[in-house]
A and B are shown apart, each in its own frame.
Chain A
């Protein structure tokens, strides 16, 4: 079945460091790919998405490119801030004619000043 694998955390970085959180997926068909974020004490919210191969999603300085050839959707940010500390979830939707989201296990990011 469809699945999402993302790197385990926690990822610990200093402010202004470069961030990469790896995400790979297994799916038939043409899924849409998402990154959701959960800030401390807040609900899950969409960070960015890409709906077809080679699309790049971007928001708040974060980027991810839909790579069909490597079945990946890695999240990157050039310079992280303390306020980026959160749990990040990679997810896919749209395989097998269902719109449910299939999530990875989440990666906790901790950014220190």
Chain B
């Protein structure tokens, strides 16, 4: 079956513009996670969805960042009024059920560059 997919693969935008990043998890996976990786740093957790609700949003860095998930499937991460420090690779992961024992399956990422 298909893995986690993300679009676009690359996005270049100007400072101050809004961007939307999309994640399609593996079919049937109820848990979905967003992470970001800034250059030279590890992955930072952003937000976690269980079904369509987000019980853990603790990693969202500011109120410019928001995310939603619909139909227990596709998720969209929106960054408003982008800043240069938002430049990073944004990764999405999914897992069949939420569990600390389970492998998370990662998508290829969206590389965001804010000029």
Residues of A near any B CB (own CB < 8 A): 4, 31-32, 34, 36, 42-46, 49, 51, 89, 91, 93-94, 98-106
Best-surrounded residue of A31, A42, A44, A46 (most CB of chain B within 10 A): A44
The answer to whether B48 touches A101, judged by C-beta atoms less than 8 angstroms apart, is: no
Residues of B near any A CB (own CB < 8 A): 3, 31, 33, 35, 40-45, 48, 56, 59, 91, 93, 95, 98-104, 106-109
Secondary structure at the A interface, as helix, strand, loop or mixed, is: strand
The answer to whether B48 touches A46, judged by C-beta atoms less than 8 angstroms apart, is: no
Q: Which residues of A contact B106 (CB under 8 A)?
A: 36, 43-45
Knowing A98-B56, A100-B48, A100-B56 are in contact, say whether A32-B42 is a contact too (CB < 8 A): no
Knowing A98-B48, A101-B33 are in contact, say whether A43-B108 is a contact too (CB < 8 A): yes
